[in-house]
Amino acid sequence: MAPVSTLRLDRDYQAATAAYAGIVPPVPNSAASLRKLNNAAITAVMRAFLCPEASSVEETILPYQSLDGTPLTLHHFRPRQSEQKPAPPTARRNNNSSNNTRPAVLYLHGGGFVSGSVDAFRKDIIRYCAATGTDFFAPGYRLAPEHPYPAPLDDAYAALCHVRDRAGELGIDRARVAVMGISAGGGLAAGLALRCRTEEMAPPLRKVVLVYPMLDDRTRLVETDPLVPLVTWTDVKNMLGWRAYLGRDGLASTENLVAGEVEEEAAPARAGKLDGLPPVYLDVGGLDLFKGESVRFVQRLAEASVDVEFHLYPGVPHAWEWMAPGVEVTKRAVENRVRALKDV
């Protein structure tokens, strides 16, 4: 007899989202329909998401080029003068930093590799920028399926290099640059950390902050899995997103799309070795499709002697915090992320 599942929604989250409980979203059947559904959902949720910190953050847009010469934009979110976080004296001594240099975070938005934008995630970026007093840089990376791997990762890597190469004029400490990725952006952030290790980037990334990251193209849910009725990012959405990112959009087969080679920078869970990576912070909801792959990734990081901090929040699905910003589990998650980001 199959064991009885104990999975259930967090009580406060369930109450906060009760108005949406009866809504059955359409099932996408292509990357294009997934993009349309994702963008509509993100827009609706972010429209209702309050951002009282907006007045304390300045935003400018910097032009930069990807590795193939494609012109792109890099959004620079900077706390107003009174909110900025200077480098501590010890960091200045150890890293030859001036009194005016500041830490920085490269923020990679979510959207399943096919949707999302800096504009859509602006309130989230502002929240963390204001709470940490740290400069944030968010690239408008290209999306699949029009631009499959490695284009989005190349865009992210070029943005990181742009910030580091111009650290002096931007007032940034090159030794205190972290990367933060949300969902698919978390997969890009982990892939970026692998690339920086391969390139022997010096000084290395200070930290990698992964928020329910999309790491493994092999993740699947069988129909009998107790997670099936609870997930918000579904197996179908996940498959469509990975197909688009790996350049296999439009495949008719529902079998494992990973036949053939997949580079580890594209799907970081496939990396043969994780040693030598910078410190990693990772959190995920207990009702998230990515829970299993996140747990396995964290275990491998720990076994590779990587400094890792992990949080598993029971009772909440993918991207829960924008749907229920005022509940206790959201407050804890945001506080933990802010604390991790302040330690850059």
23: which residues sit within 8 A by CB, 6+ positions away?
Answer: none
Q: How confident is the model at residue 254 (pLDDT cuts 50, 70, 90)?
A: very low
Smallest CA-to-CA distance from 319 within 145, 134, 109, 119 is with 109
Round to whole Å and give the CA distance between 31 and 101.
42
pLDDT tens string 278-316: 999 999 999 999 999 999 999 999 999 999 999 999 999
**What is the secondary structure of 313-333 as a DSSP string?**
ETT--TTHHHHSTTSHHHHHH
The pLDDT value recorded for residue 100 is 79
- Chain mean pLDDT for the chain: 92
Comparison of pLDDT for 325 and 97, the residue scoring more: 325
3-state secondary structure of 71: strand
Is the pLDDT at 95 greater than 90? The verdict is: no
**Percent of the chain scored above 70 by pLDDT?**
91
pLDDT tens string 256-278: 455 558 999 999 999 999 999 99
Lookup: tokens for 199: 């390139």
Helix, strand, coil abundance in the chain, percent, nearest 5: 40, 15, 45
The pLDDT value recorded for residue 259 is 53
Among 56-65, 98-107, 145-154, 327-336, name the one with the lowest average pLDDT. Answer: 98-107
Round to whole Å and give the CA distance between 110 and 113.
7
Comparison of pLDDT for 275 and 86, the residue scoring more: 275
Kindly report the CATH class assigned to 11-93+100-342: alpha beta
CA torsion 69-182-79-139 (nearest 10°) is 10
Is the pLDDT at 133 greater than 90? The verdict is: yes
pLDDT, average across residues 127-144:
98
For the beta sheet containing 208-211, the strands, ordered from the edge strand earlier in sequence to the opposite edge, are 57-65, 71-79, 135-139, 102-108, 172-182, 208-211, 280-285, 308-313
pLDDT, average across residues 197-224:
97
Task: Domain ranges for the chain, please list them.
Answer: 11-93+100-342
Residue count (the chain):
344
Comparison of pLDDT for 4 and 202, the residue scoring more: 202
Helix (H) or strand (E) holding 235: helix 235-245
Is the pLDDT at 213 greater than 60? The verdict is: yes
Backbone angles phi, psi at 298, to 5 degrees: -65, -40
**Percent of the chain scored above 90 by pLDDT?**
85
Beta carbons of 31 and 144 less than 8 angstroms apart: yes
